[in-house]
Amino acid sequence: MSIQFPVLPYAINALEPHVSAKTLALHHGKHHKGYVDKLNSAIAGTAYAGKSLEAIIGAAHEASETGIFNNAAQSWNHTFLWSSMSPNGGGEPIGPLADAIADRFGNIQGFKAEFKAAALAQFGSGWTWLVRTATELDIVSTGNADTPLLHGSTPLLTLDVWEHAYYLDFQNKRDAYIDAFLSNLINWEFAAENYRADRVAE
What residues does each domain of the chain span?
Answer: 21-84, 95-201
Q: What is the pLDDT of residues 75-89, one digit of tens each?
A: 999 999 999 999 999
- Closest alpha carbon to 31 in 96, 82, 89, 99: 82
Alpha helices per DSSP H over 63-132: 66-84, 95-105, 108-121
Partners of residue 157 on adjacent β-strands: 130
Reported as half-sphere exposure (CB side, CA atoms, 13 A), residue 136 has a value of 9
Q: Reduced to 3 states, what is the DSSP secondary structure of residue 190? A: helix
Given a cut of 60, is residue 153 above it in pLDDT? yes
The whole-number pLDDT of residue 202 equals 56
**What's this model's pTM, rounded to 2 decimal places?**
0.95
Cα separation, 29 vs 109, whole angstroms: 34
- Closest alpha carbon to 169 in 157, 179, 183, 156: 179
Average pLDDT, the chain: 95
- Closest alpha carbon to 27 in 159, 178, 195: 159
Given a cut of 80, is residue 200 above it in pLDDT? no
Q: What is the pLDDT of residues 60-113, one digit of tens each?
A: 999 999 999 999 999 999 999 999 999 999 999 999 999 999 999 999 999 999
User: Does the domain made of 21-84 have the CATH classification 1.10.287.990?
Assistant: yes
CATH number given to 95-201: 3.55.40.20
Given a cut of 80, is residue 136 above it in pLDDT? yes
Cβ of 48: how many Cβ atoms within 10 Å? 20
The whole-number pLDDT of residue 124 equals 87
Order the strands of the 137-143 sheet from edge to edge. 137-143, 126-132, 154-160
Q: Which amino acid is at 198?
A: D
* 199 or 19, higher pLDDT: 19
The whole-number pLDDT of residue 135 equals 86
The whole-number pLDDT of residue 197 equals 85
The whole-number pLDDT of residue 201 equals 60
Please, are residues 124 and 198 in contact by the beta-carbon 8 Å criterion? no
